[in-house]
Amino acid sequence: MIENGTSFRMKNNQQKEDYKKISELESTGDFKVLRKLNPPKHYNPPDETDTKLAIYLDLETTGLNYKENEIIEIGLIPFEYSVDGRIFKVHDAFNQFQEPLDPIPDEITKITGITNNMVRGRQIDKESVKNIVEPASIIIAHNANFDRKFAEIFLNIFANKPWACSMTQIEWAEEEFDSLKLEYLGMKSGFFYEAHRASNDCYAGIELLSLQLPKSRQLALNILLKNARQSTFRIWAEGAPFDLKDLLKLRGYKWSDGNDGQPKSWYKDIPEDSLDSELLYLRSEIFQKDVDIPKIKFDAFDRFSSRI
């Protein structure tokens, strides 16, 4: 049932009172107060704004290798948002377990709390997942580079959607956050929750996206959407001198060992508006001559997928 404007305002007023008490306590300099995350049904009251549907996704798996490991839990939470990054209604969560072919490793159980007994005989309803995902304009995950690869193997509809990453497509370091872990970002933002369970992580991610960032004063979701809309170039520093590898690493380049048909080379993903300056850096500082530098262009429809 949709909450009416009166009930929304009542909750909002109570929240303001809570924040006032917290501010008074923290102003002494002796306390840092964390609130338990109680996900709201609405972040902003309905208005005449045109909205789109996003889905925050989180997966728990038996390991880190999407080619070998399996999904054991999926969490999907659709929410309505505006192009300027405001979040409106948050829809009901979808959360299901799936029994893997091989037993869940002990280290995964320690992290997630998910046991073999919890998933025994359980299967994720693919048709329900498809129906939830189909109307979405974008899929968001915290470390989409991990989740997207697993999701696309599980169900092809995930390959046809644009994706965004709340971990890497917001400059958390520039906003004075020292870690990219979702649980840390939550605590630094003033709330805590039971981490490493799919729906809980989704709710925490949506909460983060609803907040105004401390330095830029912009909504986190607005920044995320702007970065997701940009095209990206992957440039390859093929044949770069070995003794300059530390310079490349410091500049954010990663090493590809040549698997999956990729070049055996240092590479870096950069936004389109930084392409010319990065190519100039490579030619002047690394190769010290005018060379042809391989590059590929991609956007949110392919970003974070195994196709790149």
Q: What is the pLDDT of residue 2?
A: 41
- pTM for this entry: 0.87
Q: What is the pLDDT of residue 11?
A: 53
Residue 296: strand, helix, or coil: strand
Asked if residues 98 and 53 have their Cβ atoms less than 8 Å apart, the reply is no
Q: What is the pLDDT of residue 258?
A: 86
Strand partners, 96: 74
For the chain, 308 residues long, give each residue's pLDDT as a single digit of tens: 344 444 444 556 766 777 788 888 888 888 888 999 999 999 999 988 999 999 999 999 999 999 999 999 999 999 999 999 999 999 999 999 999 999 999 999 999 999 999 999 999 999 999 999 999 999 999 999 999 999 999 999 999 999 999 999 999 999 999 999 999 999 999 999 998 888 999 999 999 999 999 999 999 999 999 999 999 999 999 999 999 999 999 999 999 998 877 889 999 999 999 999 999 999 999 999 999 999 999 999 999 999 88
Residue 16: strand, helix, or coil: helix
Instruction: Enumerate the H helices of the chain as residue ranges.
Output: 5-26, 106-112, 116-119, 126-133, 144-154, 182-188, 198-210, 220-229, 245-250, 275-281
**For the residues of 195-258, what is the DSSP string, one character each?**
-SSHHHHHHHHHHHHHSBPTTT-SBHHHHHHHHHHS-EEEEEETT--GGGHHHHHHTT-EEEES
Q: What is the pLDDT of residue 7?
A: 47
DSSP single-letter state for residue 18? H
- Angle, in degrees to the nearest 10, between helices 198-210 and 220-229: 100
Q: What is the pLDDT of residue 260?
A: 74
Run of H or E residues at 174: none
Q: Which amino acid is at 8?
A: F
Give Rg (Cα) of the chain. Answer: 21
> What does residue 184 show for φ and ψ, rounded to 5 degrees?
-65, -45
Of the candidates 50, 132, 135, 138, the residue with the CA atom closest to the CA atom of residue 88:
50
